[in-house]
Structure formats: C-alpha cells, structure tokens
Structure 1
Amino acid sequence: MTEVLFYHLMLRPLEEVLPGLLEKCLEREWRVVVQTGSDERVGALDSLLWTYRDDSFLPHGASGEGNEADHPVFLTSKPDNPNGASVRFLVDRASPPDLSPYTRAVFLFDGHDPDALSDARSHWKSAKDAGHDITYWQQTERGGWERKA
C-alpha cells in the first residue's frame, strides 16, 4: 500500500516548499521523481533546484539531460520513473500514473486555484478507492503543516 500525502499550499508557493520536502527525502536516502504538468515547468524547477539557496543546491536531473538512473531526484512531465524512485511528487496538476509501485506519493496543490483544488479532490478519491493510506496536510499561518485528515 502506498502512503499518499496531499499538501494544500495556502501561504507559501511551491517554489518555497518543494526544495525543503526534497531535502528531507534525500536525508532519508529516498530516490524521488517529481512530475510536473508541463515541460516548461520542468525547466523552471530545474533552475530553481540549482539556485534556491546561496549555500546549497539539490542534486538532480531533468528530462532530456541523459543519465536518468544516476540522479537521486529527477524532474519530468511524463508518468515514467527513470531513476527507480520510491517517492513520487506530483505538482502543477500533473496526472498521476499508477501509484502502487511507490512507497510514497505526494500531491502539492495551490489552495488558491479552483481547478487545482478540484483535481486534488479527484485524486484523493482515486487514491482512496485504490486502498492507499491517505493523509491531508494544510499550511498553517506560521508556514508549518497541520494534519487535517
């Protein structure tokens, strides 16, 4: 059974939240694939992960660069898993593949976008119907996370 987490972004945007969550995955030595909603977004996140902090970067690769299997974090807009990840992040309304091969799947969605909210509800229902272990987290006013379900 896959653990499926839904992160409802209310105060901080994806660009501020995603690097920290990926860092936690790498600390646990988890391989990660991040699926975006478009190739353009792959490029934007690729740049972000190299520059999001002055004193650090996240080792990663992106579609079209080659050597996919070598990267602990891989960015793609497709449903593939080129680096053999056990954790899948879905951002920017990406359509999930079958989540059952993963240990964990993480949906990050913009709480101010009605279409993103609708998609998240649909993915929640699909994940629940598939028998996955589901949790829902919402940003608090201080920027932390509170489990809501």
Structure 2
Amino acid sequence: MDQQAKLPLEPRMEAGKALVIAGVQGRYSKATVGDIPKLWDLFNTCIKDIKKRVGGVTYGVCHNPHNGEFDYMAGVEIPTKSDVPGNFEFIEIAPLNYAVFPHHGPVQALEQTYERIMFEWLPHSGYKVMGADFERYSADFNADKGTGAVEIWLPVGEKG
C-alpha cells in the first residue's frame, strides 16, 4: 500500500469565490484520463498568450459529466470573460462551498485521491456534489520535479 492511501482524508471547508478560468480543454473518460498530461503540455506552450492572468495558480477543472465522460480544462484565472484571448475556451465557476483536499505524492496519483474522495469520503460525509470540481496547483508547482502543492476543491452542499 502506498503512502497516499494511508493518509486520512481530512478536508478543510472553504467558501469559494466566483472564478473565470481560461484555458484549453478536452473530453475524457476513465479510459482516456491518462491523456490529460498531454493537454497540460499543450496549455504550457500557449499560457503566455493569456495576458490578464490573476496570480500564478493554475487550475484543472472537471465539468460537464455525462455517460462516464467529462470535460477537463487546464487553465488560469482571468479577471472577466471579456479577457479571454480568442484561441482559448473559458468556464465560469460559481461561488460555492468547497471541501478542499490536499493531494500528497506525485501528480500521476491524482486519480487515486479522486477515487478515495468519491468512494470513501463522500458517501459518509453528509454532503452531495454541487457543481464542477477542480484541481488547484500552486504557483511553484512543477510536475517533473514533484514540487509545489496540489489541492482538489469539491463543491459540496448538505444532502437534502
């Protein structure tokens, strides 16, 4: 059993703010989720074209789930949707309440952290998912070196 699986899932609760994320996106399934790093490689070649970036944080947004597939956007926060350069897509994220989970270990193990959240923590939490979840990568994040911080932000509301 790896180190990641032994750590307890103890999220902090945080009120999110409205975000506009601009970036590149693709449609993925469980079978193709391994291709997401290629999307990040593409994004990293064109991130410089986003001139009005807010802060140094990057986001991986999972949204529009349907029939086992979902859209994934690699992006950065921008001030408003009118600041989106023409060759990029964007998503608006509503100000929801989040359970924020730190991810420990290599980014390649992110899928295991997601599965633990969805199958171990969520069913016993008293919450339900309320919208798009996202990964938040610190400004000093480097996937190659394994440095920086990654958090999973899951929008939650009380089960009714």
Structure-2-length-normalised TM-score: 0.25
Q: Which has the higher helix share?
A: 1
Structure number with the higher strand fraction is: 2
Q: Which has the larger radius of gyration?
A: 2
Give the structure-1-normalised TM-score.
0.26
Q: Which has the higher contact order (CA 8 A, sep 6+)?
A: 1
